[in-house]
Amino acid sequence: MKMIQRMMFSAVAATLFFGLSACSGMSTQEKNTAIGAGVGAIGGSVLTGGSTAGTIGGAAVGGIIGHEVNK
């Protein structure tokens, strides 16, 4: 089971890093939103043991926080 969680974490991290490479045309606020959503998804997944609801909830909260950072 731990191997599956490690692979899931690695897949999410790789997706995050590849996704952020497309951020060159984004504003600072958009970049912060994307980074916040990625970090929130990873954090939510880790804190809830890999549940889908925790991952989605973490992404939503992280995205909102990232969006509001520069306001």
pLDDT value of position 10: 84
CA distance 41 to 8: 12
67: containing domain: 28-71
Is residue 35 situated within a structural domain? Answer: yes
3-class DSSP state of 64: helix
The total number of structural domains that make up the chain = 1
Is residue 40 situated within a structural domain? Answer: yes
Is residue 39 situated within a structural domain? Answer: yes
CA distance 38 to 8: 14
pLDDT in tens, 17-68: 777 677 678 888 888 898 899 899 999 999 998 888 999 999 999 999 999 9
The torsion defined by the Cα of 60, 61, 67 and 69, in degrees rounded to 10, comes to -170
Is residue 12 situated within a structural domain? Answer: no
Is the pTM higher than 0.75? The answer reads: no
Is residue 67 situated within a structural domain? Answer: yes
